[in-house]
Chain A
């Protein structure tokens, strides 16, 4: 047999067989091809409400007044200030600016019960001759909605305080006709402007993180392909692997063809997922779609490396490896932020306190790669992510090679 002539052809044939074997596996087709698209579709439907503003809701606030003329005037002032603040927030570009919806109570116990039941985020207590007081439910103290109400009340307090300070420091100024009224109007005004600057290449969104975390999850699930193909070629992995170990083609060539086939499958699936989230879910890649495909190639490599490592672990049944890889994928995807806000908080905490944990987590690094590519002008952070993924792959392959030693049929 002439290796010079038949070698490449044999290799291609092996790769083709491995591709067929991988694509005939229903579990792989579901996990690596269908699942990312199903998950991205769910994200798309769920986040559509947020991005269209449909999910933005009013801020419900209670107002307790005793019916006296003084408190009624204060209540009117509060309502007026509330409208001003909402408009101000909207004009400042706060897409999530929600109007305040005020419910009036005459009995504080009713307002407290409504606050504890979550019907209002807080209530404001207005009493004749007393300063306004805000009360928040004990179980939900410190939310953003309460901070907005506090801001409105603070501004009312600070207008009065500023007038008092000026009256004390510069009484002549307030003595001039109309100045006190003009100063009060100016203090409550909205003359100062701030403009939002676009520092990122494309607008960031808290939902983008879900899509990138999903790509990380898909990459790790893709390790199932390499696991399947590696196990099918190892003498201790399956009866077919045992037969293959004694065939004419060397174990190294078989392993290489399996890895090439698994890389092709995972790479193809990732590119399909990427195309789906770019074209259907309209997730921006900052106009760097070509480099995003390169990122998919690196992600597919790390996926194959992890699958090879798990497949190389000796004396563990294939079913157990399969389940372990599934659970590992779930666990590693947790700090990548796939499982909602609590998981994202966990990821943020780890990034702040244990950054090396995030650095060695492939699911996090895959998401980070796409994040850096999309949002940064410089490509240096993206290149660093690619190097990290390549280094992870090298380590996994090296450990797998060590584990695979002495696992040939003759050695078992």
Chain B
């Protein structure tokens, strides 16, 4: 195992590279984790940011404005085209209700005399679902006022008062009784982000860190001239690559546990440990990819480009940045052929669980095994290339 230790020492000489790719990337992962919304075991209704521009000033328009501001998180918005554009473009206000001049009187006329129904105006930012939901609620409230005006002799003031009172009747919402505490969302985000480092970072550390053992002519010649058989030399170098992968995996695991220690308090340690299994398999894939790049004799900038670009493409396809459930069928079909898709899927299974039951263990182990098969396939290709280059 002398060569294996030697390769490990050579890789470890690149401490700067290690610190940048592991510590810095882990820090970015922690930043993402820190920005995760606070988890709550009680139901809290979605409250989008809202703004109202009331150009009518009637009792009915005032009631609508109060309703919208009460149902969302109100933000002040002046009645100008620039302000409306700013709100919609930057999502400063997810839902903006514009009540046109004369709306209140027109609604009364529509209810009492069958005149044409006036229209409210709305501006919804790109968070369309929340804005549409808010619009549904606003229209439901206005519909109550309209129905009361149409079918009773209530004055607009009375109709508004009755509709406001009716709004207090809401369905009771409870939560299920969970049997335990799984891993927190912030830690899941950290684990998801670490897929970038475990694949790309590991590959770069190996391909760049151990480059001299493959590309430096005299060093390579001395290695070949030693009494170690070819198969033993190749195996030891491959094991060194695997060792680097395991080291990166351990570093990311320790940093994640330390940084997310507060959020992890109360989580089942078995689940936290179990979540590392698919990541270990991914680190092996990263090591195999690094071994392949190393075998190909890739140098500095190409190694960085291949590692980072490969990582970026695979993490996008795998669902690290965009939820897998939101992907179209065609993208999912392609994504399933990539290792990170299975890692993210397995992490999702662990996140959804509250305890490591046999079904979860079987499912995650199978997915980790599948990821490990990617590592084997890439490593075999790398070994074949290494052997071919050695012979040539």
Interface bits A203-217 vs B (CB < 8 Å: 1, else 0): 011101100000000
Alpha-carbon distance A247/B147, docked complex (angstroms): 89
CA–CA, A346 and B29, complex, Å: 11
Is B381 at the interface (CB under 8 A from chain A)?
no
Residues on B with C-beta less than 8 A from A401 are none
- Interface secondary structure of A, over-half rule: helix
Which of B85, B98, B117, B172 contacts A131, CB < 8 Å? B172
Indicate which residue in B144, B171, B300 contacts A162 across the interface (CB closer than 8 Å). Answer: B144
B32 to A196, Cβ gap below 8 A? no
Q: Could you tell me if A193 and B119 are in contact, using CB atoms closer than 8 angstroms?
A: yes
In the bound complex, how far is the Cα of B142 from the Cα of A48, in angstroms? 36
Given known A192-B117, A319-B300, A334-B31, contact A136–B175 (CB-CB < 8 A) = yes
Q: Is residue B331 contacting chain A, with contact meaning CB distance below 8 A?
A: yes
CB < 8 Å neighbour of A194 from B37, B120, B151, B305: B120
**Distance of B44 from chain A, by nearest CB (Å):** 5
Q: Does A133 contact B (CB under 8 A)?
A: yes
Query: Which residues of B are found within 8 Å of A153, using beta-carbon distances?
Result: 171
- Please report which residues of chain A, range 12-60, place their CB below 8 angstroms from some CB of chain B when the two chains form the complex: 25-28, 30-31, 35, 38-39, 42-43, 45-46, 48-50, 52, 54-55, 57
The proximity string for A residues 91-113 relative to B, scoring 1 for CB distances below 8 Å and 0 otherwise, is 01111110000000000000010
Contact indicator A206/B127 (Cβ below 8 Å): yes
A340–B195 CA distance with the chains assembled, in angstroms: 14
Cβ-defined contact, B45 with A147, below 8 A: yes
Are A327 and B133 also in contact (CB < 8 A) when A139-B352, A141-B175, A146-B43 are? no
In the bound complex, do residue A42 and residue B317 qualify as a contact, i.e. CB atoms below 8 Å apart? yes
The answer on a CB contact under 8 Å between B176 and A115 is yes
Number of interchain pairs (Cβ within 8 Å):
331
In this complex, how many residues of chain B approach chain A with their Cβ under 8 Å: the count is 113
- B37 surroundings in chain A (CB, below 8 A): 345
Q: Does residue A83 face the partner (Cβ distance < 8 Å to B)?
A: no
- Interface size of A by CB at 8 A reads 115
Nearest residue, chain B, Cβ from A130: B172
Cβ-based interface call for B113 (8 A): no
Whether B169 sits at the interface, judged by CB under 8 Å, is yes
With A27-B301, A192-B142, A319-B300 already in contact, the answer to whether A166 and B321 are too (CB < 8 A) is no
Q: How many Å from the CB of A14 to the closest CB on chain B?
A: 23
Cα separation A206 to B130 with both chains bound (whole Å): 13
In Å, the complex CA distance between A228 and B175 comes to: 58
The answer to whether A117 and B331 have CB atoms under 8 Å apart is no
Which listed residue (A95, A118, A343, A378) contacts B128, Cβ 8 A?
Answer: A95
A375: CB under 8 A from chain B?
yes
Whether B154 and A170, one on each chain, are in contact in the complex, defined by CB atoms closer than 8 angstroms, is: yes
Q: Which of B90, B163, B322 contacts A46 (CB 8 A)?
A: B322
Q: Are A377 and B17 in contact (CB under 8 A)?
A: no
> Cβ of B89 < 8 Å from any Cβ of A?
yes
Residue of B nearest to A27 (CB): B301
Across the interface, do B147 and A331 meet the contact criterion of CB distance under 8 Å? no
A52, B191: Cα distance in complex, Å:
31
B321-A343 in contact (CB<8A):
yes
How many angstroms from the CA of A271 to the CA of B51 in the assembled complex?
38
Task: List CB contacts (< 8 Å) of A115-169 with chain B.
Answer: 115-118, 131-139, 141-144, 146-148, 150-151, 153-158, 160-162, 165-166, 169
Find chain B residues with CB under 8 A from A96 CB.
128-129, 132
| Interface stretch of the complex, out of B240-248, B263-271, B289-297, B307-315 | B307-315
Binds B, one of A181-189, A253-261, A274-282, A404-412: A181-189
Q: Residue B329 at the A interface, CB < 8 A?
A: yes
List 28 A–B pairs whose Cβ atoms lie within 8 Å, in order of A's numbering: A27-B300, A30-B301, A35-B309, A92-B136, A94-B132, A116-B354, A133-B172, A134-B172, A135-B176, A142-B44, A150-B170, A158-B167, A160-B169, A179-B151, A187-B143, A190-B139, A191-B143, A193-B117, A195-B121, A196-B122, A206-B127, A322-B304, A331-B28, A334-B28, A345-B37, A346-B35, A349-B35, A376-B89
* Residue ranges of A at the interface with B (Cβ–Cβ < 8 Å): 25-28, 30-31, 35, 38-39, 42-43, 45-46, 48-50, 52, 54-55, 57, 85, 88-89, 92-97, 112, 115-118, 131-139, 141-144, 146-148, 150-151, 153-158, 160-162, 165-166, 169-170, 173, 179, 182-183, 186-187, 189-197, 199-201, 204-206, 208-209, 224, 319-320, 322-324, 326-327, 330-331, 334, 339-343, 345-346, 348-349, 351, 371-372, 375-378
